[in-house]
């Protein structure tokens, strides 16, 4: 694997999941592969889990990890191709990225969407420019439209939670929209849909209020259901996430608290396990009662971020 930006970069998902589960058992089994190698972790936006888990994963592989909060501590970057830089931006990505390519062996980047221009955000201009100009492998730590390390973690978490009954029937996975106080990107939802479709082992339903349809480039293959209770019927996994509108780009169209997942909403499921990428707004997206119950997988999910990152970095180092 050269870059890790989307599910399309993964030639064999089952093998990558197995590699992550092997690292979970034996974290230091490949300590030599990253010796004398360095990863740069660039954050244009805040993070807790992605930042720490990727650092731990790199260290488990013997790599040095250097974090640069470029969004708050670096020069303001320019990404427009022929920009006349007489405004607030100080350095063009064409000048900055090749230098980073000299300092590091792998470059990992977090860059959120503006939620102002769909065309701009969905072109993935920021991460693409780093790929174009840095000359080394690039890993997405969440981009404008996708969050692949999170989604790989989610698949790993479902795989290890799946009981023997999956030998007789496919699990039902439901992605359920939830309310939020702020307009959030579609990345986690897009990415989860893309990876569940690639995984191909589940019956997949997405439920959301009217107007929250996601880009079909990611959701094709999923059933869309606007009645949350109908969608949750017989679910084995419920993935809760807010996203802003894709069609009425970046807007909040619904704040109905009835969409918050509660213990009562889970009554129609098959004792579903509940997932969320975190951070979560308690008692807005998900009730505390659910989050604090044995149904919740959120801590296991977040801890699996290390093994997902380690499997990805190992695959890139192997192909170096
Ligand atoms: N889930 C996730 O990406 O968490 P952070 O934003 O804390 O990295």
Distance in angstroms (rounded) separating the CA atoms of residues 281 and 287? 9
Q: Whose CA is nearest to atom 6 of ligand 1?
A: 47
Mean pLDDT across 216-225: 96
Residue 164 has pLDDT above 70, yes or no: no
**pLDDT band for position 147 (cuts 50, 70, 90):** very high
Q: What is the pLDDT of residue 165?
A: 61
Pocket of ligand 1 contains residue 108 by CB under 6 Å: no
Pocket of ligand 1 contains residue 273 by CB under 6 Å: no
Ligand 1: centre distance to CA 50 (Å): 5
Ligand 1: centre distance to CA 153 (Å): 12
Work out the percent of the chain whose per-residue pLDDT is above 70. Answer: 98
The full DSSP string for the chain is: ---BSSGGG-S-HHHHHHHHHHHHH-TTTTTTTTTT-EEEEEESS--SHHHHHHHHHHHHTT-EEEEE-HHHHSPPEE--TT----SS--EEHHHHHHHHHHH-SEEEEE----SS-HHHHHTTHHHHHHHHHH-S-EEESS-SS--HHHHHHHHHHHHHH--GGGGTSPPEEEEEE---SS---SHHHHHHHHHHHHH--SEEEEE--TT-PPPHHHHTTSEEES-HHHHHTT-SEEEEE----TTTTT------GGGSB-TTGGGGSSS-EEE--S---BTTTB-HHHHTSTTB-HHHHHHTHHHHHHHHHHHHHHT-
Q: What is the pLDDT of residue 227?
A: 98
**pLDDT band for position 87 (cuts 50, 70, 90):** very high
- Measured from the Cα of 50, ligand 1's closest atom is 8
Q: What is the pLDDT of residue 320?
A: 87
Mean pLDDT across 269-286: 98
Ligand 1: centre distance to CA 53 (Å): 10
Q: What is the pLDDT of residue 122?
A: 97
Q: How far is CA 11 from CA 15, 75, 82, 146, in A?
A: 9, 36, 36, 18
Q: How confident is the prediction for the chain on average, in pLDDT?
A: 96
Q: What is the pLDDT of residue 166?
A: 66
Residue 167 has pLDDT above 80, yes or no: no
Distance in angstroms (rounded) separating the CA atoms of residues 135 and 98? 7
Mean pLDDT across 166-194: 94
Which residues, at least 6 apart from 284, have a Cβ–Cβ distance to it below 8 Å?
Answer: 178, 179, 180, 181, 257, 260
Ligand 1: centre distance to CA 197 (Å): 22
Pocket test for ligand 1, best of 45, 46, 49 (most atoms within 8 A of CB): 49
Residue 54 has pLDDT above 90, yes or no: yes
Mean pLDDT across 81-101: 96
Give exposure, 62-77, as e/b (b: 16+ Cβ within 10 Å).
Answer: bbbbebebbbeeeeeb
Please, what are the domains in the chain?
7-146+305-319 (3.40.50.1370), 150-302 (3.40.50.1370)
Pocket of ligand 1 contains residue 308 by CB under 6 Å: no
Q: Whose CA is nearest to atom 1 of ligand 1?
A: 277
Which range has the worst mean pLDDT, 156-165, 209-218, 233-242, 253-262?
156-165
Angle at alpha carbon of residue 200, lines to 196 and 202, rounded to 5° = 75
Q: Whose CA is nearest to atom 3 of ligand 1?
A: 50
Q: What is the pLDDT of residue 163?
A: 65
């Amino acid at each position: 694997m050269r870059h890790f930006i989307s599910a399309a970069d993964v030639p064999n998902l089952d093998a990558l999941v197995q590699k992550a589960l092997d690292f979970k058992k034996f974290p230091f089994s490949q300590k030599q592969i990253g010796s004398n190698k360095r990863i740069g972790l660039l954050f244009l936006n805040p993070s807790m889990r992605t930042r720490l888990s990727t650092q731990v994963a790199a260290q488990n592989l013997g790599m040095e990890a250097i974090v640069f909060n470029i969004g708050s501590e670096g020069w303001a970057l320019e990404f427009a191709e022929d920009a006349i830089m007489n405004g607030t931006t100080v350095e063009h990505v064409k000048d900055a990225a090749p230098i980073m390519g000299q300092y590091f062996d792998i470059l990992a980047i977090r860059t959120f969407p503006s939620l102002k221009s769909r065309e701009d955000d969905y072109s993935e201009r920021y991460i693409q420019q780093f790929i174009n100009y840095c000359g080394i492998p690039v890993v997405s730590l969440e981009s404008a439209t996708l969050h692949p390390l999170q989604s790989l973690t989610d698949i790993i978490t479902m795989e290890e939670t799946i009981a023997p009954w999956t030998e007789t029937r496919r699990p039902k996975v439901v992605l359920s929209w939830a309310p939020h106080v702020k307009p959030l990107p579609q990345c986690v939802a897009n990415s989860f849909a893309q990876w569940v479709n690639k995984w191909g082992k589940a019956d997949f339903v997405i439920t959301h209020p009217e107007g929250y349809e996601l880009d079909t480039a990611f959701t094709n293959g999923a059933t869309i259901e606007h009645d949350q209770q109908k969608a949750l019927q017989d679910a084995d996994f419920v993935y809760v996430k807010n996203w802003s509108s894709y069609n009425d780009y970046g807007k909040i169209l619904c704040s109905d608290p009835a969409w918050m997942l509660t213990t009562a909403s889970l009554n129609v499921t098959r004792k579903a396990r509940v997932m969320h990428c975190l951070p979560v707004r308690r008692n807005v997206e998900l009730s505390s009662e659910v989050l604090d119950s044995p149904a919740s997988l959120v801590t296991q999910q977040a801890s699996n971020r290390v093994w997902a990152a380690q499997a990805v970095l190992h695959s890139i180092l192997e192909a170096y």
